[in-house]
Chains A and B, each alone.
Chain A
């Protein structure tokens, strides 16, 4: 499932590192309404959203999974925060790989008369990767917008 929602309280926040655009967490542990826990491991979160991920924070958390990457793309908290952010880095990387390998192959066929096997494999992998990341981002935006009227109850 590419996107999902958690209603609950953040119990544990283990930050691995914070970069210019995004923060990477070893794990985020949520306490759910039914008393159970849900862990979101190796999560990539844009810094706008990451600023609201603090232990004890209650609200609705919007999650995504894209291939082997996962993260939190939105949060609506009981104290009124309403923040969305989705990093496009992987999408751009996949697009660049596709473009570079396509150009490499065109040049190779033109100059050398044959295609490059590695470039062809990367080209074939890069395009579906780009669409997978893009599809998840579009789904995440739609999910967040569709839930625009939601306000979590005070904790």
Chain B
């Protein structure tokens, strides 16, 4: 069975390394933000200038991490195909694109990462491989952090500081859930990258 397009392996270790560092930084900043919010008793009127700067820093790190992680996702998906995984869903471009398609982005990024894990573990017969529970756990945390963050943001936009403690509680929940989400995704990236590097090495030696 031949794949319609020949894929070439591209070294994605640099992108994986940077994505993991930025995800660790994101987890650390979320932890600090949660700690500061708890320290002032979730009172939005007592938020300091430092917390505002921290929020901006969080946004920058999050966006940089998202860009690099999506770049890595594209490369790793193409590399799984280059290692011999046929019949993977869609294309590397679609693997990234699922994150931006409404409703589909609730499920399909999870399915893509799950299949990439299986394809990296056993490229020649990836559907026989299993994926760990870490992936579904990451995705639940990722969605929960996003949803709570979105609720907090809407409360802030609609009611400003009048939403008070409710808004702060949602921001706190979002920050707390974002910590395992970022750490789990960093671990998943590291493991998939290691499996692909290992398969690549075996292919090169043989």
Interface residues of A (CB under 8 A from B): 1, 4-6, 27, 29, 36-41, 63, 65, 67-68, 70, 121-122, 124-125
Stretch at the interface among B44-52, B69-77, B124-132, B151-159: B124-132
Give the residues in chain A near B127, CB-CB below 8 Å: 27, 38-41
Instruction: Report B123-145 residues with CB < 8 Å from chain A CB.
Output: 124-125, 127-128
Q: Is there a chain A Cβ closer than 8 Å to B53's Cβ?
A: no
Q: How many A-B residue pairs have CB under 8 A?
A: 43
Instruction: Give Cα A121–Cα B104 distance, bound, in whole angstroms.
Output: 10
Contact residue among B87, B102, B108, B125 (Cβ-Cβ distance under 8 Å from A1): B87
Interface bits B102-131 vs A (CB < 8 Å: 1, else 0)? 111000100100000000000011011000
Partner of A65, one of B89, B108, B111, B125: B89
Inter-chain contact B87/A63, CB cutoff 8 Å? yes
| Chain B, Cβ-Cβ closest to A37 | B125
Q: Are B86 and A1 in contact (CB under 8 A)?
A: yes
A36, A67, A121, A122: the one within 8 Å of B125 (CB): A36
- Main SS class of interface, B: loop
The answer on a CB contact under 8 Å between A65 and B87 is yes
Given contacts A38-B127, A122-B103, A124-B102, 12 further A-B contacts (CB under 8 A): A1-B3, A4-B87, A5-B1, A36-B125, A37-B125, A38-B1, A38-B125, A39-B127, A40-B127, A41-B128, A67-B89, A70-B87
- The answer to whether A125 and B101 have CB atoms under 8 Å apart is yes
Could you tell me the distance in whole angstroms from the C-beta of A128 to the nearest C-beta in chain B? 9
Interface SS majority for chain A: strand
Shortest Cβ gap from B115 to chain A (Å): 9
Given the contacts A65-B87, A121-B103, A125-B103, A6 and B128 also touching, CB distance less than 8 Å: no
Q: Which residue of chain B has its CB nearest to the CB of A12?
A: B128
Q: Is B6 an interface residue (CB 8 A)?
A: no
Q: Is the CB of B125 within 8 A of A68?
A: no
* Closest beta carbon of chain B to A84's beta carbon, Å: 18
Shortest C-beta distance, B119 to chain A (Å), equals 12
A27 surroundings in chain B (CB, below 8 A): 127-128
B4 adjacent to chain A (CB < 8 Å): yes
Question: How near does chain A come to B95, taking the closest CB pair, in angstroms?
Answer: 12
What residues of B have a CB within 8 angstroms of the CB of A6 in the complex? Answer: 1
Of the candidates A29, A63, A65, A121, the one whose C-beta lies within 8 Å of that of B102 is: A121
Contacts of A4 in B (CB 8 A): 1, 86-87
In the complex, what residues of B have CB within 8 A of residue A38's CB?
1, 124-125, 127
A6 to B102, CA, bound (A): 35
Expressed in whole angstroms, the minimum distance between the Cβ of B172 and any Cβ of chain A is 28
Which 5 A-B residue pairings sit nearest by Cβ, starting from the closest?
A: A39-B128, A41-B127, A39-B127, A121-B102, A4-B1
| B104 near A125: Cβ-Cβ < 8 Å | yes
- Which residues of chain B are near A41, meaning CB under 8 Å? 127-128
